[in-house]
Structure formats: structure tokens, C-alpha cells
Amino acid sequence: MLESRPPQFVTIKCKGCRADAEIPVQTEDVKVKCHACGTVQDYSASKPPKGSGRSSNDSGSKTRGFGLGGKRGTDENPASMEYYDLLEVQATATQAEIRKKYYKLAIQYHPDKNSDPDAEEHFKKISEAYQVLSDPELRKRYNEYGATGSTPEGGFADPEEFFQQQFGGERFVDLIGKISIGREFKDMVNEEDDESMAGLSEEEKKKKQEEMQAEVRKIREKEHAERVETLVKNLISKLNVFTESERTQESLDAFREIQKIEAEELKQESHGVELLNAIGYTYLSKASQYAGKHAMFGLPGFYLRMREKTHIISETVSTIRSAVDLQRSFQELQKADEEGTLEGEARVKLEEAAARQGLRAMWKGSKLEVQSVLREVCDRVLSDPSVTKEKHGERAIALKTLGEVYCAVKADAVEQA
């Protein structure tokens, strides 16, 4: 037998955004500020809202069998379905299904793309849900005990940072540095919301914005220089496995096998295969250019440089096209919301299309950025004035081998399905 206790919290609904909120049980009338939209409303202790008095561990109809006198949840019948409902998946969903749904919803509710006042709060919630359900151990604890027993050690990560990690994760940082997703847009939003602009004339605002933009450019240039410098050191260190060996065919084969093993591990990361292929293409291109440049008359090198320029133009056009498609999709959604003409399955399909286009646009933009940075890194590595031309040639051989390994990486059959 379990002994009960009086409820410590009551649940109320915001009159502004209709979000649910919990406050300690009150014995007097108070004013309550909404955690989601900031709306302030009166709360009457003598007339609490209908259904109030449930504890913070109770999720209403979303909680299954873990209330007073209930049993511990299972993987098939979790103690709480809240996180599953947030990600719009079944309790039996696979990791691939959870990841796919998270990408779709994260794009749909990302504050940079969704102007709805509730979007940011929902974005945080789905990020929290994904952090738990994407971790097998935390998911098992969540299924058994609900949200109370499944908080990650150290707390939940910042949603923006967490979302960025979906493109490669920390394991790719040594290869490509940190990808900046939507950072420029965020800077622009911060400028518009800057309280220091209040009371300034249009001319003063324009001048201040120019000063702020100049400062941001200076910071970005410094970050870029530090990123390239770090990646140059990392790449040289990786190539040294061959260049500091006996430099025989046997040592080159050993270097290739070592990189294959590492690549098989890296490809398991989010967008791992696509990232490795993009990195490999750049490595292979730069190594081939170096070899061609030192060939007879340098004609092969000239051809390869022209091919690189064509590739850059093609990737840029593709990225711009993706961004335009994304903008068009969100405009269609916005128009449908204003006119109230899109509901049910038709709206779901349009939202899914916008999510796919958003993820594709973000990926293409990130890929373009990564390859641009790596071209600079490779140029630095293959023209390092601190080493001999012979060493440059050895680095080019190792870089070509590394590029071939990364370009050959394919998704597992299960992932392709």
C-alpha cells in the first residue's frame, strides 16, 4: 500500500497562448505570468481552474499506469507518452523514425523559420524529447518512470546548439570545425531586437547597425582564421601517419586501412556519409590539382582548377535554389494560415514538404561552407613554407588517399532502405 500526499501544484491554462503551466498550490489570489508568452493573468485561490490539483508528474491522458497505485511503465506501454506525442511517433518507433520526425519538426518550429509566438517554446520541447528518446538508456528510463527519471546528466543541451550537432556532431569537429547554421540570420534578428535602438532616429539606427555589422564581421573573420589554423594543424597531424613513416607502398596501404576504420565509425554520425563524401571530394580535388600543377606544362592542374570552379558554381546555384524553394513553401503555409484554406492531410503534406526542403537547404548551405573552408585548409597544407617541396608531394599522396577513402563511404543497406 502506498500513502498519498496532498497535491503540491495546480495546472492552469494561459489566456493568451493557451499553453499549460503549473504553479504551487495557492491559499490566496495571485497574478501569474505565462512562461511561454509572458501574458499576466489573475488566479483565484477560491475558484481554481477545473481539473487543477494534479501533481507535476501527472501528464493527464498522456500518462499511463504510473500514477497512484500504478505499475512501472514498459517499452511497449511507457509510463508517459508526452515525448512520443511531441515527436508524433508511436512508442514502438525505431531510432531512424524518431530521428526523421525530429528533423521535420525541428525545421518546422525552428524560431529562425517560424514566426509563431509559440514556436520557440515548442522547439525547445521537441529538442528535449529528442535528447531523451534518441538515447537508448534515457529512453528506457523514460518508458519506465516518465520525464522525472530521464533527465540527461548535466541537464538538457541548448536547443540551438543541439540542433547544430545534427550535422556531424562533435566527432567531425576535428575535420571541419563547427558548422554555423542560421548564425547570420540570428545576428540580424538580434540587431532588430536590440533595445539600444529604442528612441534613435532612422539615420542614427542605420549608423549603429553599420557599426554592429562591422563588429560582427570582425568577430567572424577572427573565428574563421582560428578555425582554419586549427584544421590545418589537425590535417597535417592526420597525414603525418604516412608522411612520417617509411613512405613505402606498404605504409600507404596501412594508412588507407586506418582511415577506412575511422571512416566506418564516423559515417554512423548524423549526416556522416554525406559529410565524409563532401570532405573526400575536396581532399581528392586539391590533391589532384597539386599533382597536375607539377605535371608536364601544368595543363592537368589548369583543367582541374577549372573543374573545381564549375563545381563551386553548381553547388552555389543548388544551395540558392533550395533556399528559394524553402521560402516559397513557408510563404504557401503562411498564406494558407491567413486564408484558412488548408487543413487536415493537405496541410500535413505541405508541412512535411517544407520540413524536407528546410533540412535540404540547411544541409546544402553547410556543405558549401565546409568545402569552402577545407579548400583553404588544403591549400595551406600543400604550400606550407616550413617544409620542403618533397614533403608537399608526400602530403598530396596521403591527402589523395584520404579523399579516396572518404569518397568511397556508403550508407549501410538498412539506412538506405
Q: Rounded distance, CA 311 to CA 286, Å?
A: 13
Give the rounded percent of residues in the chain with a pLDDT score beyond 90: 24
Torsions phi, psi for 74 (to 5 deg): -125, 175
pLDDT at 146 over 70: yes
pLDDT, greater one: 7 or 370:
370
Phi, psi of 40 (to 5 degrees): -100, 130
Of 373 and 321, more confident: 373
Burial of 340-353, coded b for 16+ CB within 10 Å and e otherwise, reads eebeeeeeeebbeb
Q: Which residue has the higher pLDDT, 287 or 113?
A: 287
Tell me, what's the pLDDT at 384? 95
Query: Is pLDDT at 242 greater than 70 in this prediction?
Result: yes
144 vs 404 pLDDT, higher one: 404
With a cut of 50, say whether residue 59 has pLDDT above it.
no
The overall average pLDDT reported for the chain is 75
Residue 100 has pLDDT above 70, yes or no: yes
In terms of average pLDDT, the best of 54-58, 111-115, 234-238, 300-304 is 234-238
Q: Quote the DSSP letter at residue 248.
A: S
For every residue of 128-156, DSSP letters joined together read: HHHHHHTSHHHHHHHHHH-GGG-PPTT-P
Q: What is the mean pLDDT of residues 252-280?
A: 91
Q: How confident is the model at residue 281 (pLDDT cuts 50, 70, 90)?
A: very high
Most confident of the ranges 106-110, 183-187, 297-301: 106-110
Q: What is the pLDDT of residue 54?
A: 38
* Confidence (pLDDT) at 190: 47
User: What is the pLDDT averaged over residues 360-377?
Assistant: 83
Domain definitions of the chain by residue range: 1-58, 79-164, 217-416
- Say what the pLDDT of residue 37 is: 67
- pLDDT per position as a tens digit, 172-188: 889 998 876 545 444 44
Mean predicted confidence (pLDDT) in 144-155:
62
Which CATH number applies to 79-164? 1.10.287.110
Distance CA 347, CA 251 (A): 58
Q: Would the pTM of this model clear 0.85, i.e. be above it?
A: no
Q: Where are the alpha helices (DSSP H) in 182-201?
A: 183-193
Handedness of CA 266, 271, 275, 277 (dihedral sign): positive
Model confidence at 340: pLDDT above 80? no
pLDDT confidence tier of residue 385, bands split at 50, 70 and 90: very high
* Distance, CA of 87 to CA of 132 (rounded, Å): 11
Mean pLDDT lowest for which of 59-68, 211-220, 281-290, 387-396? 59-68
Measure the CA dihedral 46/47/49/54, to 10°. Answer: 40
How many Å apart are CA 94 and CA 114, to the nearest integer?
A: 28
